[in-house]
Homo-oligomer: A and B are copies of this chain.
């Protein structure tokens, strides 16, 4: 059974910034969807959803049929309705994987799942970035070299205000003197969340082959297994099976 991915995008800069439209004529979501199809082939079926659609393209049926949701937003985080944030959180807790990209660090969805401010330092001067693998046996590092470079990026620097990740997979070095935890994994309820820093609306980050590889590895790793039972309820329960009667 192929992994069912929904690629979400606020789809804003593509309409307002010529350089972005030129770089990603199909939208950032179109590029990410293409990258996943390129890397994962028949192992994946990808659809896209955007802010402007009814329910932001994330109605109950779409989410129920989504194994992994990827999230790109930047300028319009506040326009995402709280109802959809509730819904996405609930789906993650029930097992859906969530891949949060770049400026998605400040999305309502990510802040909801982290419980922290999710702030960071930034500088958009096109400096060089090098990402280092911190966990060579982790599936998200599969097929990477020990590090890879992005020649021109926006800088994100520590302190990155998130809970300590369950697994820290990638750290970035920036030419200008900063470091950043660029690949962070957490469990939330029955689901998993992976934050992956690279991305930008005008630097061609999602065309980079290493970045595309990480996107694909992350989608694979975020795919849920059936697992053991989970409920968001808080039930009153009898004593288990054969346990002792007081």
The yes or no answer to A54 lying at the interface (CB within 8 A) is no
The yes or no answer to A120 lying at the interface (CB within 8 A) is yes
Please, what's the 1-or-0 string for A137-155, where 1 marks a CB less than 8 Å from any CB in chain B? Answer: 1110111111101010000
The yes or no answer to A31 lying at the interface (CB within 8 A) is no
Dominant secondary structure at the A interface: loop
Contact partner of A147 (CB less than 8 A), chosen from B128, B186, B192, B240, is B240
Contact B166–A173 (Cβ < 8 Å): no
Contact partner of A112 (CB less than 8 A), chosen from B115, B164, B176, is B115
Q: A117-B93, A133-B228 are in contact. Are A164 and B161 (CB under 8 A)?
A: no
Spell out A's residues near B (CB within 8 Å). 89, 93, 95, 106, 112-117, 119-125, 127-128, 130, 132-139, 141-147, 149, 151, 157-159, 161, 163-164, 166-168, 171-179, 181, 186-192, 224-244, 246
Q: In the docked arrangement, what's the CA distance between A127 and B126, Å?
A: 23
Contact B95–A137 (Cβ < 8 Å): yes
- Of all A-B residue pairs in the complex, the 8 with the closest CB atoms, nearest first, are A177-B243, A137-B190, A141-B228, A176-B239, A133-B228, A119-B234, A117-B232, A115-B115
Q: A135-B187, A137-B230, A168-B168 are in contact. Are A176 and B123 (CB under 8 A)?
A: no
- A120: which B residues are within 8 A, CB to CB? 234
Contact B177–A239 (Cβ < 8 Å): yes
Q: A121-B235, A145-B228 are in contact. List 20 more A-B contacts (CB 8 A).
A: A106-B234, A113-B116, A114-B115, A119-B232, A119-B233, A119-B234, A120-B234, A122-B236, A133-B228, A134-B158, A136-B227, A137-B187, A138-B227, A139-B225, A146-B159, A151-B242, A168-B168, A173-B178, A173-B179, A179-B179
Contact B228–A188 (Cβ < 8 Å): no
State the oligomeric state as a number of copies.
4
Contact B166–A167 (Cβ < 8 Å): yes
Residue of B nearest to A95 (CB): B137
Q: In the docked arrangement, what's the CA distance between A122 and B174, Å?
A: 19
Contact partner of A177 (CB less than 8 A), chosen from B89, B122, B167, B244, is B244
Residue of B nearest to A141 (CB): B228
In the complex, which of the residues A128, A159, A176, A241 has the most CB atoms of chain B within 10 Å of its own CB atom? A159
In the complex, which of the residues A191, A240, A243 has the most CB atoms of chain B within 10 Å of its own CB atom? A240
Contact A161–B93 (Cβ < 8 Å): yes
Q: In the docked arrangement, what's the CA distance between A132 and B159, Å?
A: 8
